[in-house]
Amino acid sequence: MVMDGPILMPIDPRLLTLTQWLSPAYPTGAFVWSHGLEQAVAERWVRDGNSLYDWLFDVLCDGSGRGEAIWIARAFEAEGDEALCAIDAEARAFAPSRERLREAERQGAAFARVTREVWELDLPDLLMPVALGRAAKLVDLPLDTTITLYLQSFCCNLVSAAQRLMPLGQTEAQAVLARLSPICGQTAEEARGGALWSNAFLSDIAAMKHETLEPRLFQS
Amino acid sequence: MISRPESQHRWAGESGHLLSAHAQSAAEHSFLRRPAITLLSPDTPIAATPVQPRTRGTVTLSAKRLGPRSVIDGLRQSGSYKALFPRTGDMLQSILINTSGGVTGGDRLALEAGVGVGAALSLTTQAAERAYRSLDGSPGQVCSRITVGDEALLHWLPQELILYEGCALRRTLEIDLTLSSRLLMVEPVIFGRVAMGEVVTSGAFHDDITVRRAGRQLYRDATRLSGDITARLARPAVASGAKAMASLLFVDPRAEALLPRIRDMMPETGGASLLAADVLTLRLLAEDSHALRQHLLPVLDLLSDDTLPVSWRL
């Protein structure tokens, strides 16, 4: 059989839903949170493309990026509302600081508000990764893809924040993001059934210290 | 190119590769071999490799209010875990002692404590606890469970835990509070003694802390460090090379009012935050145990109303 031109693979419409949710244009207000990165830049712990990559690598492999991947997986797999609420409560107890908790709370509430309205989902206000995991389950999204794309959008947001906080060219910023992409995939693969822990102590300390940073652009 | 840290945290005994034959023979001749004060329990497995005696110890303790003072309500101790009670003020002070001199592979230490209605209990250790090399890689386990009643106060103030090369330690701390309980909890950890040139290039440390209030989770903290712990701590967002860390939790109506003073006591690598109006959390990194104490002692003095146990001053 002879075919003319390239074969167009149909795109799974669910993937379009996911990329819409994780787009910077989705009104979760992600751009106002730096996850403590603003403090790390102020301390000069992060000062260029390489140190930004190293910092975000640790956050993904040892810290809150890994933690959020697991919350998404647990919420996705939760059976019933009671289990979901228990996961949300546990995620809150794991929050290392007030601003981190607020960051996950505000984004999660904004995400849930828009998503339940547009997709008519039974989605209560939950912390961001818990809300995303539940929503992904409700519209039958693949879990690994959901987590990988979430982590990439998380990194994308923090790389954009770094561009506003320190001299970092557009090309170098995109190079950092490209280097982080495979780490997002690996962290996502290990999230299902993963144990909860965090070793990114200095990242958490940065988030605590940010509460008194003056002047500041970001809310975390 | 930075290699990705191990994602799987296996005990050396499970993977079978973490301890080389060379490392094992070095340990046999090392001063780290534990002293003879140990207990052999019937379930100690018979192994062809060097046999490491297994320590067993349990302390069960409760405190109650008697007039203005807090006193011992019940006490049972077995094996090599003991509690001493130095005479002090109104608060009941207890010093926990692991008479085996440290924790190694296969050891089991357990504490069960209760603080009765209106009572005040301070728990500390006589000296730093040491997590020594586990010869077969199996973990030593230290489990502590404490319930704190209405209007009761718990100070959980162990001295430093020191991790040694080849250590394998699994530690859990669970504290149950009521809505009117108060808590001051600190956990200092030293990842190899800098002054002695010690590093921890192989080891496994699992630490889990759970604090509940009225049955709901209030605070969770979990650390998993394995393999080359010193290299892992050198990572920028992990500890940037710090060798000492303290985690602190303060549950008290004064938490919000004291936060600014606590923040002023923190160095560049320490932070404090309010998780709720009466829940203050703090994390502190320092280059070594000396620097850690320098920053930690004023904080503990303030939050314990100057009741820090004498053993902390020695």
Higher pLDDT among residues A54 and B42, named by residue: A54
- Strands B182-191 and B161-163, bridge-based pairing: parallel
Could you tell me if B153 and B121 are in contact, meaning their C-beta atoms sit under 8 angstroms apart? yes
Residue bearing tokens 């303060």: B250
The pTM is what?
A: 0.89
Q: What is the pLDDT of residue B40?
A: 42
Note whether residue A145 is domain-resident: yes
Note whether residue A82 is domain-resident: yes
* Residues on chain A touching B4 (C-beta within 8 angstroms): 61, 183, 186
Q: What is the pLDDT of residue B53?
A: 73
Note whether residue A17 is domain-resident: no
ipTM confidence: 0.94
- CA–CA dist B254, A197 (Å, integer): 29
Could you tell me the CATH number of the domain that includes residue A166?
1.10.4190.10
B278: closest CA of chain A, how far (Å)? 12
Tell which of A39, A70, A208 to mutate to test the B interface (max B CBs under 10 Å). Answer: A208
Q: What angle do CA B299, B301, B304 make, to 5 degrees?
A: 100
Tell which of A46, A98, A183 to mutate to test the B interface (max B CBs under 10 Å). Answer: A98
B259 at interface of A, judged by CB pairs closer than 8 A:
no
Q: How many domains does chain A have?
A: 1
Residue A152's domain spans which residues?
45-212
Q: What is the pLDDT of residue B38?
A: 41
Provide the percentage of residues in chain B whose pLDDT is more than 90: 78
Q: Three-state SS across B36-71?
A: CCCCCCCCCCCCCCCCCCCCEEEEEEEEEEECCEEE
Note whether residue A26 is domain-resident: no
Predicted confidence (pLDDT) per residue in B98-157, tens digit: 999 899 999 999 999 999 999 999 999 999 999 999 999 899 999 999 999 999 999 999
Higher pLDDT among residues B14 and B130, named by residue: B130
Q: What is the pLDDT of residue B12?
A: 38
Instruction: Give the DSSP H/E element, type plus range, for residue B298.
Output: helix B289-303
Note whether residue A132 is domain-resident: yes
* Residues on chain A touching B217 (C-beta within 8 angstroms): 89-90, 92-93
Q: What is the sign, positive or negative, of the torsion defined by CA atoms of A8, A12, A18, A21?
A: positive
* Residues on chain B touching A96 (C-beta within 8 angstroms): 273, 281, 283
- CA–CA dist A159, A39 (Å, integer): 14
* Residues on chain B touching A54 (C-beta within 8 angstroms): 2, 235-237
DSSP-derived letter for residue B133 is: B
Among the ranges given (A12-16, B292-296, B303-307), the one the predictor scored with the smallest mean pLDDT: A12-16
Closest Cβ opposite residue B238 in set A43, A92, A201: A201
* Residues on chain B touching A66 (C-beta within 8 angstroms): none
Cα distances from B130 to residues A22, A51, B41, in angstroms, run: 47, 35, 21
DSSP-derived letter for residue B101 is: S
Task: Compute how many other C-beta atoms are within 10 angstroms of the C-beta atom of residue B92.
Answer: 24
Closest Cβ opposite residue B2 in set A57, A90, A204: A57
B230-236: list long-range contacts, CB under 8 Å, 24+ apart. B230/B191, B230/B192, B230/B199, B230/B200, B230/B201, B231/B201, B232/A62, B232/A199, B232/B5, B233/B191, B235/A54, B235/A58, B235/A62, B236/A45, B236/A46, B236/A51, B236/A54, B236/A55, B236/A58, B236/A202
Note whether residue A192 is domain-resident: yes
Q: Return the closest-CA partner of residue B156 out of B80, B198, B209, B229.
A: B209
Is the pLDDT score of A185 beyond 60?
yes
Predicted confidence (pLDDT) per residue in B64-110, tens digit: 999 999 999 999 999 999 999 998 889 999 999 999 989 999 999 99
Q: What is the pLDDT of residue A3?
A: 55
Is the pLDDT score of A195 beyond 70?
yes
A144: closest CA of chain B, how far (Å)? 17
Is the pLDDT score of B19 beyond 80?
no
Is the pLDDT score of B18 beyond 90?
no
DSSP-derived letter for residue B13 is: H
Sequence-ordered strand ranges (E) for B192-312 = 204-213, 216-226, 244-251, 270-276, 279-286
Predicted confidence (pLDDT) per residue in A58-105, tens digit: 999 999 999 999 999 999 999 999 999 999 999 999 999 999 999 999
Q: What rounded mean pLDDT belongs to chain B?
A: 87
Predicted confidence (pLDDT) per residue in B244-300, tens digit: 999 999 999 999 999 999 999 999 999 999 999 999 999 999 999 999 999 999 999
Contact B283 A201 (CB under 8 A): yes
Contact A98 B274 (CB under 8 A): yes
Residues 6+ apart with CB under 8 A from A71: A87, A91, A127, A129, A130, A133
Note whether residue A34 is domain-resident: no
Which string of DSSP letters, residue by residue, matches chain A?
Answer: ----SPPPPPPPHHHHHHHHHTSTTSTT-GGG--TTHHHHHHTTSS-SHHHHHHHHHHHHHHSHHHHHHHHHHHHHH--HHHHHHHHHHHHHHH--SHHHHHHHHHHHHHHHHHHHHHS--------HHHHHHHHHHHTT--HHHHHHHHHHHHHHHHHHHHHHHS---HHHHHHHHHHHHHHHHHHHHTTTTPPP----HHHHHHHHHGGG-SS-SS--
Tokens representing residue A151 in the block:
């982590």
Residue A125 CA from chain centroid, whole number: 17
Instruction: Give the DSSP H/E element, type plus range, for residue B230.
Output: helix B229-233
